[in-house]
Amino acid sequence: MNHKIVEPKIMYFGTPVVLVSTLNEDGSPNLAPMSSAWWLGQSCMLGLGKTAKTLENLRRTGECVLNLPSAKMVACVDQLALTTSSSVMPPHKAKMGFAQVKDKFALAGLTPIASELVKPPRVLECPVQLEAIVQRIDSFNADSAAAIEVKIIRVYMDESILNPEKRHLVDTDKWQPLIMSFLEFYGLGQNLHHSRLAQVY
């Protein structure tokens, strides 16, 4: 090992991509890809830049669906990159060539379907769909972003990834999340080692 002191601009070490659906003021659905998400129990913490339309929608409505795409959906997730539903284009996004897109479901070729406990739609093609309500929103990263705690109130999983014999119901050899690592897309590799934690938890 030969560790160097470096100053990376980002610390995206690899997290699952989440497509967050929310409702705009006019009732149309918005869909934003994001990957600054982590999970504990039935809650999830989302990190969103403060200019995201999704953040505005979460503050106003307090509801969302966290749709988790599989690795094979990578091309349609990439269609959503560099887009915003914001009517006012933030200057830093204009500089990067972002486009204002009203119907992101159509752009990505994804299908909105009704949720049960919240108003924003689920994404039919995503094997995991989590209806959630906002618990709190805090300032994050010197106020350039927000940390949004949401509580998951309903979980849908496609039967292709379910295995009732598994303790947590998900067949982890079949569930292949799409991962973002330092802005590049990856899948998961194969199961590496017997897990002592999985045995007891």
Ligand X SMILES: Cc1cc2nc3c(=O)[nH]c(=O)nc-3n(C[C@H](O)[C@H](O)[C@H](O)COP(=O)(O)O)c2cc1C
> Judged by CB under 6 A, does residue 81 bind ligand X?
yes
Residue of 19, 23, 44, 52 interacting with ligand X (CB under 6 A): 52
Contacts with ligand X in 17-46 (CB under 6 A)? 17, 30, 32-36
# binding residues, ligand X (CB under 6 A): 20
- Distance, CA of 182 to CA of 83 (rounded, Å): 19
Give the Cα separation of 80 and 19 in Å (integer): 9
Residues forming beta bridges with residue 171, ordered by sequence position: none
Q: Which is nearer to ligand X, 1 or 40 (CB)?
A: 40
Which of these ranges, 2-10, 78-86, 111-119, 156-164, lies near ligand X under the rule CB under 6 A? 78-86
* Interatomic CA distance for residues 69 and 37, integer angstroms: 14
Decide: is 150 part of the binding site for ligand X (CB under 6 A).
no
In a 13 Å sphere around the CA of 160, the CA atoms on its Cβ side amount to: 8
Alpha-carbon radius of gyration of the chain: 17
Contact positions toward ligand X, by CB under 6 A? 17, 30, 32-36, 47-49, 52-54, 77, 80-81, 84-86, 180
